Amino acid sequence: MIKKKNDTIKSLAIHSKDVGSTEIQIGLLTDKITKLAEHFKKAKKDKHSAVGMTKSVNKRKKLLSYLKTKNPESYQNVLKQLNLRK
């Protein structure tokens, strides 16, 4: 988990000390959503985690729309790296 998080941060970082940019936040939320989707394959009735997943999806959606308006080039780069919106 920590290794995957560090890999995500390194792949999306704008500069060497970047740990909180919009791109990284989107990447970390995508990892979290993927992990929760795998969890739901085993535990379909876990409603508390479903609420958390819904919040994460909505937050990622807001961050993506923000990034699209502020930096369209970076937005396209993030979509390609994370395989979103095919």
Q: What is the mean pLDDT of residues 28-32?
A: 95
pLDDT at 86: 59
pTM of the model: 0.90
Percent with pLDDT over 90 in the chain: 77
- Res 14 pLDDT > 70: yes
Nearest to 68 by CA among 49, 45, 47, 85: 85
- Res 1 pLDDT > 80: no
For the domain covering 2-6+19-82, report its CATH number: 1.10.287.10
Q: What is the mean pLDDT of residues 39-62?
A: 95
Residue 30: CB atoms within 10 A of its CB come to: 21
Q: What is the mean pLDDT of residues 30-37?
A: 95
